[in-house]
Amino acid sequence: MLSTHADIWLTRRRAGGFALRGYERHLQRFATFAAARGEEHIFRRETAIAWAAQAATPGERQRLFQIVVGFARYLHAEDPRHEIPPGRHFPGGRPRPLPYIYTAQEARRLVETAARLGPAEAIRPHTVSTVLALLFATGLRISEARALRMGDVTPDGLVIRGTKFGKTRLVPLHPSAVSGIACYLERRRAVAGGEDHVFLRVPGRRFLGRSFRYWWDHVLRRSGVLPAPPARRPRIHDIRHTFAVRALEGAPDRRDCIERHMLAVSTYLGHSCIANTYWYFQATPSLMSQVADACQRRFEGGLT
């Protein structure tokens, strides 16, 4: 039955590091819909189109359709009787927003503004400023930074567990980041209580996501980094984009070196697929300009 095939497909995909949140519910709904049409065993493209067409908005129709298209490709590889729907039957889909790339001056201003949140004797301003500095230095996801526990801070770097793709990785730190975390931990020791999470908002209490977003908005407004409309509002996640862009800008010119550099950046960021790292090239004009210049030199015979 299609529901059984869906369970097998999800198990295999998750074993490869994909979270696939929400996929199980949607695929089971599709399997039930197909069974009601008398198609319990073979995937039919018309059924997939009819199921996705029930969604209320173009974006939702496109998203649901892409879920079952991926499932169909897996089934077809196992048994050619399964049909693969046309991938672009439903147009639309929400484009990925272009990231806001912070300058070095803006990064410094954000960290300094966070350190002045006050009151000076509280742990919160030190936490927010240390977290922002760590994000700029490592490209961690904010969820990864908030989830850090004391045992994850090691002499070799930070152990990042239970990431977006369910993997664990070691993130080496620059000496300046090591020093910054050490200073924070020294201050934290007096107010930690029994809390094992590294970053605290008040004595003995970890920083929750909604609480950090509140103080991030506060820091953004007070720092003067917030651009005037209609420019898009910078996000915390754009700090990760900024780290990736700066790392990719430092790639060497030789093709074999670029490939190794890209793989190293992708591994450091914890991407499950290097294609996610390549996206930073097309998302950032300065990187696209570097790519264009490299291509031009290659056409002129200056790059081997």
The string of pLDDT tens digits covering residues 140-175 is 999 999 999 999 999 999 999 876 666 788 999 999
The verdict on 217 and 111 lying in the same domain is yes
The verdict on 193 and 253 lying in the same domain is no
Which percentage of the chain shows pLDDT scores above 70? Answer: 79
The owner of tokens 């991407």 is: 271
Is residue 180 a part of any domain in this protein? yes
Is residue 170 a part of any domain in this protein? yes
Is residue 89 a part of any domain in this protein? no
The verdict on 193 and 158 lying in the same domain is yes
Residues 271-304: pLDDT tens digits?
656 556 666 665 555 555 655 565 556 556 554 4
The verdict on 124 and 58 lying in the same domain is no
Is residue 73 a part of any domain in this protein? yes
Range with the poorest average pLDDT among 66-75, 212-221, 261-270? 261-270
User: Mean pLDDT across the stretch 40-54?
Assistant: 91
The pLDDT value given to residue 82:
93
Residue 269 — pLDDT band, cuts 50, 70, 90? confident
The pLDDT value given to residue 89:
82
Is residue 95 a part of any domain in this protein? no
The verdict on 57 and 120 lying in the same domain is no
CB atoms within 10 A of CB 76: 14
Which percentage of the chain shows pLDDT scores above 90? Answer: 46
Give the residues across from 207 on adjacent strands. Answer: none
Final residue of a structural domain among 223, 250, 283: 223
Residue 261 — pLDDT band, cuts 50, 70, 90? low
Distance of alpha carbon 191 from alpha carbon 131, whole angstroms: 17
How far are the Cα atoms of 27, 40, 62, 67, 116 from residue 22, in angstroms, in the given order?
A: 9, 21, 15, 10, 41
Q: Known catalytic residues?
A: 141, 164, 237, 240, 271, 280
- Per-residue pLDDT at 215 exceeds 90: yes
The verdict on 24 and 116 lying in the same domain is no
Give the residues across from 260 on adjacent strands. Answer: none
Exposure string for 215-249, b = 16+ CB within 10 A, e = fewer: bbeebbeebebeeeeeeeebbbebbbbbbbbbbbe
Q: Name the residue range of residue 268's domain.
A: 237-299
